[in-house]
Amino acid sequence: MKPSEDIRVRMLQHRLLHDLTYRLPDRAKRDLLIGFKEWKRIVSRKKNAFQSQRNVPCVLVSTSNQIEIAEEYISANTNHKTLNVLVREELTLSDFPLKFHLFALRISLQCLFDSRRVNLALIVREVTEWTAVSDFISLNTISEFFDFTPFEKDSNTLAYLLIEEGIKVTKIPSPGPLAGHHTFMIADDVVLSSAYQMEELPHFEHWYVRELSHWPPDQYMYYSSNYINPPVPPRNTIGFYSHGEWVRRKSGDADFGMGIQENELFLLNSLKTFLEKHSEFQLIIFPHPKERKDKDFESFYASFFTGAQTTIAPEEMKSSNTFFKINIGLMAYSTILFERLAMGYKTFIGKNSPTSFPVEGSPLKNLCLANYEDLESALLLAHMETENEFFIRQGLENYPMQQFLEQKVAEIQK
């Protein structure tokens, strides 16, 4: 954290102390003892023994339920069929040296007075995780590292440290906008999984990356078989795909800062009006899994909609498996947006509250609905079109997955 002439180091310092993080709840910003709590939490972590194989790439995931997804995804898109997988939330050290405790004490005391206490406190956890990853890689003579957690505020610091040690670092962001967490990037290779991400790249000044790879979205292997010969979507159906922002705010999660809650409420109120005027349409709501766990889940949607025109998708009706059941999808912000477009289905974005998404020049701007009049006219026109007609009219020809992957082939040949 000393002053440096290296722009990358200065940016790493800034991001560690200022970047958005979800690893602690919003209330931690007011907890003066959060540094001491993080110190206790990290030294109390149960020491799990990770199975290891020498000379095999290492993968970092957030939680244990991502292990299978990461293994299958990387194996499907590389020649690596065997991987070492480390789980961030299970990383710890066999022994904590005195210098670590002195460091943690200094951070914890600073958290008593510093408004950046959440980001500061997490450094205690992050330093432990960096050390555990580095030790594991060194012990097993590993030369390649895949990061499934590039959205974390310390991901670039970890990449910087590993690259300095001669390790090849590949980062795997989600299919959503890179602008949320990735305007600054340090890596050898970055995996892109949507056409929109290609449109964002010219807007980023601080990308220290050698290569770009085009892969399908990380969940693609689980739903792609449903779209080999899919049925034509029923014409008068609308789907609302929720980010569950109301329940996230209720539980105290950090605000993502893209006006998602305001835009979701705009869509729900507009859809209520639309259904009252156009009774021939049916709305199916696809809740976020977080919503289904909340006791107010059903009453929240009942406050907007009543009657047979609106139903809530049953839990077994997974969004990404059933895009063909909906003619037109609407959402404020979700990974589903990019998955649905990748599979070639009509989609619109609620944007009543101004945000920086999408970037200037992106055809996604053609999908943005800012008021009820926009929504009504867009739905009435789109429901009469085929998927192909819709994508051509909106300038989305390179968004379907096959075209996106072929675009990379063309770039390599060029």
Answer whether 121's CB lies under 8 Å from 111's CB.
Answer: yes
Q: What DSSP string describes 361-378?
A: T-GGGGGEE-SHHHHHHH
Structure-block tokens of residue 186 = 């340090």
Question: How far is CA 132 from each of CA 55, 232, 264, rounded to the nearest angstrom?
Answer: 17, 51, 40
For residue 2, what pLDDT is reported? 77
- Using 50, 70 and 90 to split pLDDT, how confident is the model at 347? very high
What pLDDT, in 10s, does the model give residues 159-197? 999 999 999 999 999 988 998 889 999 999 999 999 999
CA distances from 201 to 192, 197, 238 (A): 10, 7, 32
Contacts of 136 (CB under 8 A, 6+ apart): 50, 52, 58, 84, 86, 142
pTM of the model: 0.87
pLDDT band at 298 (very low <50, low <70, confident <90, very high): confident
Q: Phi and psi for 10 in degrees, rounded to 5?
A: -60, -40
pLDDT interval class at 414 (50, 70, 90): very low
Residue 240 and residue 267 in contact, taking contact as beta carbons nearer than 8 Å: yes
What are 379-406's pLDDT values in tens digits? 999 999 999 999 999 999 999 998 998 8
Distance in angstroms (rounded) separating the CA atoms of residues 99 and 104: 9
Assign 339 a pLDDT band (cuts: 50, 70, 90): very high
Angle at 355 between CA 353 and CA 361, to 5 degrees: 125
Q: What is the pLDDT of residues 110-121, one digit of tens each?
A: 999 999 999 999
Given a contact cutoff of 8 angstroms between Cβ atoms, the answer to whether 278 and 383 are in contact is no
The vertex-273 CA angle with 295 and 386, nearest 5°, equals 100
Task: Please tell me whether residue 92 adopts helix, strand or coil conformation.
Answer: coil
pLDDT at 412 (0 to 100): 46
Please check whether residue 239 is in contact with residue 251, taking contact to mean a CB–CB distance below 8 angstroms.
no
pLDDT at 409 over 60: no
Identify the pLDDT of residue 5. Answer: 87
What is the four-CA torsion angle of 369, 375, 381, 384, rounded to 10 degrees? Answer: 110
Q: State the residue for tokens 């800012």.
A: 370
Q: Report the interhelical angle of 98-111 vs 117-139 (nearest 10°).
A: 160
CA dist 283 and 327 (Å) reads: 10
3-state secondary structure of 33: coil
CA distance 323 to 321: 6
**Can you tell me the distance from the alpha carbon of 173 to that of 308, in angstroms, rounded to the nearest whole number?**
39
Distance, CA of 253 to CA of 189 (rounded, Å): 31
d(CA 11, CA 31): 26
Helix spans in 201-241 (H) = 220-223
At 335, is the pLDDT very low, low, confident or very high (cuts 50, 70, 90)?
Answer: confident
Q: Which two tokens stand for residue 13?
A: 């310092």
